[in-house]
Structure formats: C-alpha cells, structure tokens
Structure 1
C-alpha cells in the first residue's frame, strides 16, 4: 500500500496546485532546500520528536534513487513475513492504506501532527525518507532501528530527478536539462548535494544496523538482493515468496499499476527504470564535470567504490 499512498498524495497535491503557483516553491531549513508542495517547515522543526520503534524498517535514499520501488519491496516482505491469510491481508491493507493517506509516505512530508498519528500504525512500520544521516531523528539511532540505505549512480539520478521535479512542479520554474544539471552539481536542489549524502553515509559503514544497497545491484539480481534485505531485517520468507515479490515489484508491474490507478502520476514515478539513460542526455562537458566531482569527493571512499562508478558512469 506504500506505492498507492505515494500516488494518492501526489495526485491530490497536483490537483490542488493545478492552477496555483506558490509564492515560495522552495524553503530553506538548516541550510538545505525543501519543496513547499510536499514539505513544511513546522514538520522539519519538530522532526526530532518522532518516536522510533526498535523494529521499525527504515529506508533512506536521496530523491530518485529508487526509494518508491524499494519501499514497496519492503512492504511486500513485511506482509509475506507476517504470513497473513488473504482475508487478514485484505483488511490490513485497507487499514494501512487509510492510515498512510493521512500520514504522507515519507518522514519529512506533510503536517507536523503526522507524528502523533504515526503512533497508531501497527508494527512493523516501513518508514521512508530522503534525509541525510545527520538530519534524521536521533531516536532512529538511539533505538538501534535497522536502516537500509539506497544509492544509485549519480548520472542516472540527476536525469530522473529533472523529469520528476518538472513533472510535479517542485521547482520555482521548469528547468531545462542544462539549467538543472548546473543546480544539481552544486546542490541547489531539494535535499541538497547528492555527493554529500554519500560522504555522510560513508561514516556508517561499520554500523551493524545499517545496510547499503544500490539500485543497480537490485536491477542485476532482484531475487538475491531481496533475500539480503529479508535477512537484514529478519523477515521470514521462503524462495517462492521472494520470487513472488520479484514479480509484484518489477518495474513493468508497478508502472502498469500506477498508470491504471493514477493516470498521469505513474509517468513521473516510473519513467524508464533503466541503467545508463544518462548517456542520452549528458553533454561531454557535463560528463567530465560529474566525473571530476565524483573523483574529488567520494571515488576513493569505500561507499564510493561500492557504487561501481567506473561500470555505470562511463561510456
């Protein structure tokens, strides 16, 4: 139901803002930009009041690294692990959907009262966020909740981010690719500089409660990576259930479902779902600039090497 919740939120938001241009589409909080359409300063100000449970399933990923996709995988794992019969699954799904529609699907989205409402969600809660580690509620680390951190190669991330931001009007004005690339490489986009997220999370490589995974790894072998996620979060699932989740959360299945239930929204959430689309967009100068920035900042870190930049970001 996480996927449906996200789609409903975006559909509702787009409808409400169809003929409205916010006077301030972006706002600054603690030195970082956020989109007014889905975030509000009051929520971010009280973020640290969020009460984490030790069994919460936390998914963290910079925008357009695949958090909607992987979030649905985690929801499916939780459901399969719970071994609900069909009637209980249906009832639970309906309750979960109703709650999620009022909660907003990411930790930093929505109104500040959401944190009180989140207390009513049944365990285990699957919680998503785009926030860097230093901006997460302290209780996540204090309660030792397990965190899955998702990354995607920065070139594909940038291209996907542009289409998403323009489609949902998250930016003050629609951006051309050249304009957006200039902002992205400087961190002048919502949630800041992507490379900074990599640098900050590199500090948590030895934390046993943090697991790192890449979009590209899942694309290469979804069944293997879903099995790794299940083991990390202590979900009890068998091979048949894992294969079922692979099929339910394939790009085609999720895109088709989004198109059926929320016309117009699916194309922003699920555009191409491929690795290497950046090759159709980046100019030679932009390619060199991204290579240089990556080499200077994160290429030699363990996390930077794990991302296989030389495989996914070279012609």
Structure 2
C-alpha cells in the first residue's frame, strides 16, 4: 500500500489533472507497455498537427503526465519558481521533455498515463467515466512477460525494493504483494469495464489492446488508435508516426529512453520483446502460472493473444 508521500502525490495529481474533455488516459499494469503507448499517441498527435494546421498547436504541444506514481521520476510533480510564472507546479512535459506548468496558457491536449487498478480509479476519479470526450486505451500483456520485466525493473530502479531472488519476486507477484497489486486482477477488472461501457452504449470510450498485437502489427494497431481518438491520418502521416515508435527508435533516443534519469541503474527500455518469460521461468513455474492464468482469467480472455506462450 502507498505511504503518505504517495497519497500526497495522488492528491496533488487529482488537483492538477482533473478530467477534461479531450483527455486520453493510457492505462496498463507496470511493464505492460504504457510508456510505449505514450510515445505512440504522441507521434499520432505530432503527425495530426502537421496535417491539420488550424488545430495543430494543441496537438503538437500536448502535455504528457505519468500520474499517481511515486517511484517514477517522470511522474513526480514539483513546485518550482519560474521567473515569468512565479511559484507553480509542473503538470507534465511536452514531447521534447520541456516542463509544462499548471497555469500554462497554451491550449494543449493531455496524454495521461497511469497504472491505477480500476476500483481505485473509480473511487478517486468517478467523473472520468461520465465525460464522453475522455478516451481510454488499455494495454494488456502476457502476465509472464510482465513478471520478468517487472523483476528487472525492481533491480534497476533505486526507488523500488531490490528482490532477494527471482523465485521470491515471482511468489510475491503471484500473490499480488507488489506495488499496484495483482496483475491478473488489474487486467480482469479493466476488461470487465470495457464490456460494461459497451453495454451502456459507450463502446467507443475504451480501446483494449495487447502488447503482443502492437509487436505483431504496429502499423495496423496505430491506425486503430488514431481512429479511436478521432484523428484521421494520411498514409504518409501514419507511416511517419509508426517509424518513430519502433522499439529501436525509442531505445536510441535519449529524450525517450529515460537514460538521463539517475534513479535508473540500467536500461529503462530493456528488450521490448514477446516471450522473454522463457529466460526466467522454470518448467514447473510455467505450468503453475499457466494454471493460475486459466483460473483467474478464464475463457473471457480468449481474445488476449498470449503469443509465443506454449506450455
């Protein structure tokens, strides 16, 4: 459970990031792909701005905020003194990493990424689901790949406890005794929310995607995302956006790979591949985890393609 510092961050973010029409919320369990999705939406906005000059600035100047997280330097709000603005809070950052202040006068779209479980979001931000102008994108991923990536993230993030061993971390992960709780419950709840919104006539509010589908067909997935956001890109514009969002492109760019954040002792963007669970899971661990997924996720997740995931 988060401590007082985290609760203060949550409260501050609620004040700074109260929902506005036009916001897009990117939701995923840690290491499922929310950083990648942030870059994807940013690239789509960038190309849309190029092709639509009359409204371009609000998209090209979009503010990106990783919200409600106390262990990620990209998320930490801080009060600063800016000579032209006085004392004010940093809401987030633009696509070039420049700070955006709470009393910024430019019209900007907001890209808000977060790891909130559904129940906590419904409790803290119930109004976010009532505004038809707010869009959601949820990114799911093979929980075994998440477990391995999250294990390595704990080992390289000085703000997180270093695991005693892979075996101990996996045991905690299965029990939900890690930050942000159970991965399977996280995906199950948000998937149910998608169905509930559809049943209420809001099918277009939440787009459900998987990390695996992004890896398999990034171009097709980004066309789906741009349509979900109501942004029609030309084939050339989409191709430019896709090129910017390959893993190799992101990993090579210091402005996007977070290599300048001293809190990280290794690569924030590590491998970005499907099936890396095989590097850590034993045969027995794999069998037991597959049984857990079958029990916790059931047939309702047949559409969640966990590719390269044979027993």
Normalised-by-shorter TM-score class: 0.7 to 0.9
Give the direction of change, closer, same or farther, for the CA distance of 1:257–1:230 in structure 2 (3 Å limit): same
Q: Using the alignment, how far apart are the partners of 1:201 and 1:296 within structure 2?
A: 17
| SS of residue matched to 1:300 | helix
Q: Using the alignment, how far apart are the partners of 2:58 and 2:190 within structure 1?
A: 38
Q: CA deviation at 1:85?
A: 9.4
Instruction: State which drifts further: 43-52 or 217-226.
Output: 43-52
Q: Aligned-residue CA RMSD in angstroms?
A: 3.1
Q: CA deviation at 1:105?
A: 2.8
Report runs of 4+ in structure 1 exceeding 6 Å deviation. Answer: 88-93
> 2:304 maps to which residue?
307
| SS of residue matched to 1:288 | helix
Q: Using the alignment, how far apart are the partners of 1:44 and 1:308 within structure 2?
A: 33
Q: CA deviation at 1:118?
A: 4.6
| SS of residue matched to 1:148 | strand
Q: Which of 167, 174, 190 in structure 2 is aligned with 1:201?
A: 190
Give the direction of change, closer, same or farther, for the CA distance of 1:160–1:173 in structure 2 (3 Å limit): closer
How many pairs does the alignment contain?
271
Structure 1: runs of 5 or more not aligned:
1-27
Task: Tell me which protein shows more helix as a share of its residues.
Answer: 1
Give the direction of change, closer, same or farther, for the CA distance of 1:263–1:134 in structure 2 (3 Å limit): closer
Q: Deviations over 1:84-106 (max 9, x none)?
A: 799x999997x76xx76xxx533
> 2:81 maps to which residue?
none
Contact 1:251–1:273 (Cα < 8 Å) also in 2: yes
Verify: 1:222 aligned to 2:211, yes or no: no
Contact 2:157–2:265 (Cα < 8 Å) also in 1: no
User: Looking at both structures, which has the greater relative contact order when contacts are Cα pairs under 8 Å and sequence separation is at least 6?
Assistant: 1
Q: Deviations over 1:139-179 (max 9, x none)?
A: 32122311000011011111111111110124333432111
Verify: 1:153 aligned to 2:153, yes or no: no
Verify: 1:246 aligned to 2:242, yes or no: yes
Q: Using the alignment, how far apart are the partners of 1:92 and 1:231 within structure 2?
A: 15
Q: Deviations over 1:180-231 (max 9, x none)?
A: 1111111111111000111211222332211100000010010000000000
Give the direction of change, closer, same or farther, for the CA distance of 1:231–1:285 in structure 2 (3 Å limit): same
Q: CA deviation at 1:300?
A: 1.6
Give the direction of change, closer, same or farther, for the CA distance of 1:91–1:83 in structure 2 (3 Å limit): same
Give the direction of change, closer, same or farther, for the CA distance of 1:85–1:298 in structure 2 (3 Å limit): closer
Verify: 1:44 aligned to 2:10, yes or no: yes
Give the direction of change, closer, same or farther, for the CA distance of 1:267–1:92 in structure 2 (3 Å limit): farther
Give the direction of change, closer, same or farther, for the CA distance of 1:261–1:183 in structure 2 (3 Å limit): closer
| SS of residue matched to 2:299 | coil
> 2:260 maps to which residue?
262
TM-score (norm 2): 0.77
TM-score (norm 1): 0.76
Q: Using the alignment, how far apart are the partners of 1:198 and 1:256 within structure 2?
A: 30
Q: CA deviation at 1:53?
A: 1.0
Q: CA deviation at 1:111?
A: 4.3
| SS of residue matched to 1:306 | coil
> 2:76 maps to which residue?
110
Q: Using the alignment, how far apart are the partners of 2:165 and 2:179 within structure 1?
A: 16
> 1:15 maps to which residue?
none
> 2:48 maps to which residue?
81
Q: Deviations over 1:232-259 (max 9, x none)?
A: 0011211111111111111111111136
Q: Using the alignment, how far apart are the partners of 2:52 and 2:164 within structure 1?
A: 48
| SS of residue matched to 1:127 | strand
> 2:200 maps to which residue?
none
Contact 2:59–2:108 (Cα < 8 Å) also in 1: no
